[in-house]
């Protein structure tokens, strides 16, 4: 298990901070890559924030109404493995099947 801290990115050129409008995830919740984490309000627009990682939301660093500066922590994730630079770590578990086999069908 590794930790990954998602910091408020510069959502528009020269942006300094953003206000948390709402969270769509809770601490302790598992999220997928690109799942909607919540919305933030910048001086220019309301922006939806997709999750940069797949993992467990360990901590939300700000509450709705809070002002977060660019570069400050937004979400701390617990992530399963470091996949390296590219891609994701695949699941080891057996994938689902629907097709059932029949012997001696004739």
Partner 1 sequence: MAELTLVQALNRALRDALREDSRALVFGEDVGRLGGVFRVTDGLQEEFGEQRVFDTPLAESGIVGTAIGLALAGWRPVCEIQFDGFSYPALDQVITNLAKYRGRTRGRASMPVTIRIPSFGGIGGPEHHGESPETYYAHTAGLKVVAPSGAADGYALLRAAIADPDPVIFLEPKSRYWSKEEVAGSTGELGRARVSRQGSHATLIAWGAMAFRCLQAAEAAAEDGVELEVVDCRSLVPLDVETLAASVRKTGRAVVVHEAPLTAGFGAEISARLMETVFDDLKAPVQRVTGYDVPYPPAAVEDAYLPDLDRILTAVQKVLDHG
Binding site for partner 1 (CB under 8 A): 33, 81-90, 92, 94-103, 105-106
Grouping H, G, I as helix, E, B as strand and the rest as coil, residue 19 is strand
Nearer to partner 1, 26 or 94 (CB): 94
Residue 88: what are its φ and ψ, rounded to 5°? -130, 160
In the complex, least distance from residue 1 CB atom to partner 1, rounded to whole angstroms? 13
Residues 6+ apart with CB under 8 A from 38: 20, 21, 22, 23, 24, 25, 48, 49
Instruction: For the CB of residue 32, give the shortest distance to partner 1 in the complex, in Å.
Output: 11
Provide, rounded to whole angstroms, the least separation between the CB of residue 64 and partner 1: 31
């Amino acid at each position: 298990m590794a930790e990954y801290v998602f910091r408020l990115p510069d959502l528009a050129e020269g942006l300094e901070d953003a206000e948390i409008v709402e969270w769509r995830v809770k601490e302790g919740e598992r999220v997928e890559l690109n799942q909607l984490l919540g919305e933030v309000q910048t001086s220019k627009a309301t922006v939806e924030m997709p999750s940069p990682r797949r993992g467990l939301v360990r901590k939300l660093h700000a509450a709705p109404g809070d002002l977060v500066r660019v570069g400050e922590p937004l979400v701390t994730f617990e992530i399963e493995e470091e996949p390296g630079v590219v891609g994701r770590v695949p699941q080891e578990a057996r994938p689902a099947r629907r097709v059932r086999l029949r012997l001696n069908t004739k």
